[in-house]
Amino acid sequence: MLIVCKPDLTEAEFRRLETKLGDLPYPLRWGRRSGRLVLLLEGARGDQEDLRPVVEDPAVEHVLHSPSEREITRIFTRRDLLNLSLGTTGLLAGAAVLAPLGMYLAAPASERTSRGDLLVAAADNIQVNSARTKIIEGREFLIVRRDATHYHALAATCTHSEVCLVEWDPKRRQLVCPCHRGIFDLNGNVVAGPPPRPLERREVVVRDGGVYVRRP
């Protein structure tokens, strides 16, 4: 079972949720995806009575009761895994508690101009018909270079599942969700699959050799 916490999780909420998880007899891993703290309870099912206090906690935004292996792999990559595993030994302690929360709350340094535009890449660092990821205000975005002069910035989180990230497919020239085969065009519109709404899109400006994303 995957538990996705709300994006504005506070330390107090984290500690409360951690207390509820401490006595559960399931191996637990912590990860971070798209600005959210994500928990993997191995072998657990959301309909179990002992999990009700966790599932119904206000800090929890979304629960995937039967995640696929692909969904789990997408979240718990080497980059995203917090190297923290719990068995049946109770609560985290001291620095172990603060480490995942610190990684969750930490945000990359912003390079904003006086206009409020955020520098996301040097124009030459993104090849034509390719993409790179960038954390913008705590959320993961894909910056896609369509051709020599046109760039697009779209939220990387699939609107069908709050933990799956879309990928740029250079052959289709579309954004594809590997979890449930949702497909989006460069405007963020749903082309196929189960996503219920478009991806968020940000305006992009190219100036002085840099690619900037404007505030909404």
Distance CA 4, CA 37 (A): 6
- Residue 73: CB partners within 8 Å, gap ≥ 6? none
Contacts 24+ apart (CB under 8 A), 48-54: 50/24, 51/1, 51/24, 53/20, 54/3, 54/17, 54/20, 54/21, 54/24
Q: Which residues of 154-167 are buried (b: 16+ CB within 10 A; e: fewer)?
A: bbbbbbbbbbbbbb
Predicted confidence (pLDDT) per residue in 132-142, tens digit: 988 887 778 99
Distance CA 69, CA 44 (A): 15
Q: Is the pTM of this model over 0.75?
A: no
Q: What is the mean pLDDT of each run of 10 residues along the chain (216 residues)?
A: 80 82 79 73 78 87 74 59 35 39 44 69 93 83 94 91 82 87 94 93 92 87
Asked if 101 contacts 190 with a C-beta cutoff of 8 angstroms, the reply is no
- The pLDDT score that the predictor gives to residue 35 is 63
- The pLDDT score that the predictor gives to residue 169 is 93
Distances in Å between the Cα of 73 and the Cα atoms of 37, 85, 142 are 15, 16, 19
In this structure, the strands spanning 81-86 and 28-33 are: antiparallel
Predicted confidence (pLDDT) per residue in 40-87, tens digit: 888 887 677 888 888 888 888 878 777 767 667 766 654 444 433 333
Distance CA 113, CA 64 (A): 39
Which residue, 137, 135, 145, is CA-closest to 165? 135
Compute, in degrees rounded to 10, the torsion defined by CA atoms 164, 10, 30, 100: 120
Q: CATH class for domain 118-213? A: mainly beta
- The pLDDT score that the predictor gives to residue 106 is 43
Q: Which two tokens stand for residue 173?
A: 């020239």
- The pLDDT score that the predictor gives to residue 162 is 66
In sign, the C-alpha dihedral spanning 126, 129, 131, 136 is: positive
- The three-point CA angle 36-40-44 to 5° equals 140
Q: For residue 52, which phi and psi values (nearest 5 degrees)?
A: -55, -45
